[in-house]
Amino acid sequence: MSMGSFHQLRHKSNRVIIYAILILWCLIIYFPIYWTVITAFKLPIAIAIDVTYIPWVDFKPSLHAWRDISKQHAVVRSFVNSTIVAVTSSAVAVLLGALAGFGLTRFQYKFGFWRNNDIAFWFVSQRIMPPIVIVLAFLIMFRPLGLIDTRLGLTLAYLGFNLTLAVWILRDFFASIPRELEESALIDGASWFRAFWSITFPLSTPGLVTAFILCFIFTWNEFLFALILTFQKAGTVPLLLASQVTNTGVQWWRLSVLALMSIIPSIICALVLERYIVKGLFTGGIK
């Protein structure tokens, strides 16, 4: 065997090993999702008797759990609450975070010994402490204001956490945009806000979309604040999932259906906004 043939054989062997490892890893990662999908189409008796994996071979799929969930008014209320709270708090956080991030990269602030980097670090430091530390403070403040078990109260609570994340992400994006674009607009007579809104803001679309998706996913999946600050009216999807664990056991068929329904909004959000990440790289500067 020639040296060239030996290297080709070795290269093919390495590729086979790498692909085998990747396939095995994908099976390990995606098996829980597959298990959730097939469980959502099983009858309760099929889950209790034996462990089955292959539809139409090990068990007969059924829409029993889906029909049961569709009759629950609490399901619709929880999904509506989560959607309104997640979209509102994320959108407002991204808008305010964009203004704050732009200011931290374009102006020099001085508060005592604090400078721009200190202010930026203070924002991100709010995510360091565990949420359980301040959730009781929110409860004490919201009670006299009548914000307990309301969408507005939950939105304000999540806005505080989302804002710190949005400022930190967008600050880095604005720092990568050349200041010469804004200076050209200022020379033409535009104000700082006009330069920000017409030039910098469109160019930062990838950062805006990234910040929105992260804030949305965090809010959609958050459990602790929803547990403490809501009871019935403003309950969210994570609370609905937790309610499937009853005194008689875990209702796996209902829990699987709700789990699949809960990941759909995040997937749709990512798919819809993905094209804006690329679009943002080419728009704004032309204006």
pLDDT of 179-200, one tens digit each?
Answer: 888 888 888 888 888 888 888 8
Q: Which two tokens stand for residue 162?
A: 């989302």
Return d(Cα 57, Cα 217) in angstroms, integer: 36
Highest mean pLDDT among 9-18, 39-48, 84-93, 108-117: 84-93
My answer on whether 10 and 119 are in the same domain is no
Tens digits of per-residue pLDDT, 217-248? 999 999 999 999 998 889 999 999 888 877 77
46-56 burial, b at 16+ Cβ within 10 Å, e below that, comes to bbeeeeeeeee
Q: What is the CATH number of the domain that holds 161?
A: 1.10.3720.10
Measured distance CA(223)–CA(165) in Å, rounded: 18
Give, in order, the Cα–Cα distances in Å from 150 to each of 140, 145, 155, 181, 257: 15, 11, 9, 44, 26
For 171-181, write each residue's pLDDT tens digit: 888 888 888 88
Instruction: Looking at the structure, tell me whether residues 167 and 250 fall in a common domain.
Output: yes
Tokens 């809010």 sit at which residue? 219
Report whether 165 contacts 214 (CB < 8 A): yes
The reply to whether 122 falls in a domain is yes
Does residue 125 sit in the same domain as residue 253?
A: yes
Residue 281: CB partners within 8 Å, gap ≥ 6? 203, 205, 206
Q: Are residues 37 and 151 in the same domain?
A: no
Q: Are strands 249-250 and 245-246 parallel, antiparallel or unpaired?
A: antiparallel
Of the three residues 22, 49, 65, the one that is the final residue of a domain is 65
In 40-72, where does DSSP find H-type helix?
44-49, 64-70
In angstroms, what CA-CA distances link 5 with 12, 14, 199?
11, 14, 56
Average pLDDT, the chain: 85
* Contact assessment for residue 158 and residue 150, using Cβ atoms and an 8 Å cutoff: no
Please write the tens of the pLDDT for every residue from 124-162. Answer: 887 787 888 888 889 899 999 999 999 999 999 999 889
Within this chain, do residues 198 and 78 fall inside the same structural domain, yes or no? yes
Q: Is the same domain home to 90 and 57?
A: no
Judgement on whether residues 83 and 41 belong to the same structural domain of the protein = no
Residues 221/171, Cβ–Cβ less than 8 Å? no
Amino acid sitting at position 4: G
Q: Which two tokens stand for residue 68?
A: 């049961």
Two structure tokens written together for 178: 């050349």
Give 144's contacts (C-beta < 8 A, 6+ positions apart).
none
Separation CA 214–CA 266 (nearest Å): 10
In-domain check, residue 133: yes
Higher-pLDDT residue of 244 and 11 is: 244
- Taking residue 168's Cβ as centre, other Cβ atoms within 10 Å add up to 20
Instruction: Identify which has the larger pLDDT, 284 or 57.
Output: 57
Kindly state whether residues 184 and 244 are assigned to the same domain: yes
In a domain, 285, yes or no: no
Looking at the domain assignment, is residue 260 inside a domain? yes
Report the amino acid identity of residue 161.
Answer: F
Last residue of some domain: 65, 98, 119?
65
Asked if the structure places residue 286 within a domain, the reply is no
| Domain termination site, one of 18, 37, 65 | 65
Q: Does residue 284 fall inside a structural domain?
A: no
114 and 26 within one domain: no
Does residue 91 sit in the same domain as residue 190? yes
Domain hosting residue 18, numbered range:
3-65
Domain count, the chain: 2
Q: Does residue 226 lie in a domain region?
A: yes
| Residues 85 and 51 both lie in one domain | no
Residue with tokens 């309950």: 235
Whether 172 maps to a domain, the answer reads: yes
261: helix, strand or coil: helix
If asked whether residues 7 and 92 sit together in one domain, one would say no
Does the pTM exceed 0.95?
no
Residue 246 pairs in a beta bridge with 249
Q: What is the pLDDT of residues 51-88, one digit of tens each?
A: 788 888 888 888 888 888 888 888 999 999 999 999 99
